[in-house]
Amino acid sequence: MTAAYEALRDAVIDGTPRAEGAAALRYHGMLHGLPVLVKSTAAIDATSRHQAQRMDAFPAGDEFVRLLANLVLRTHSELAHVY
């Protein structure tokens, strides 16, 4: 429970907008909010591991941006200005 509190505290000190768990503390208060935060943190950790695995599948750096740019350019025809 201390680790969940410290993680929330660090997020607030760093200025993270809408830090994860702040709403639980605001709604339930510190006494009942921390157990809720601990339960939700375990669920979040499981999903974040899954997201980290998916991020490794993306092409590195500029390759991904070029791929997206090519996809967008193929869908839009070039505009010709008439004067």
Q: How many domains does the chain have?
A: 1
Q: In this structure, is residue 82 part of a structural domain?
A: no
Runs of H (alpha helix) within 1-83: 2-14, 22-55, 62-75
Q: In this structure, is residue 81 part of a structural domain?
A: no
Tens digit of pLDDT at every position of the chain (83 positions):
677 777 777 877 887 766 666 676 677 776 777 777 777 655 555 445 544 455 555 556 677 777 777 777 777 666 655 55
What is the SS3 assignment for 34? Answer: helix
Model confidence, pTM: 0.33
Burial degree of 40 (CB within 10 A; 0-12, 13-18, 19+)? middle
Domain hosting 55: range is 2-75
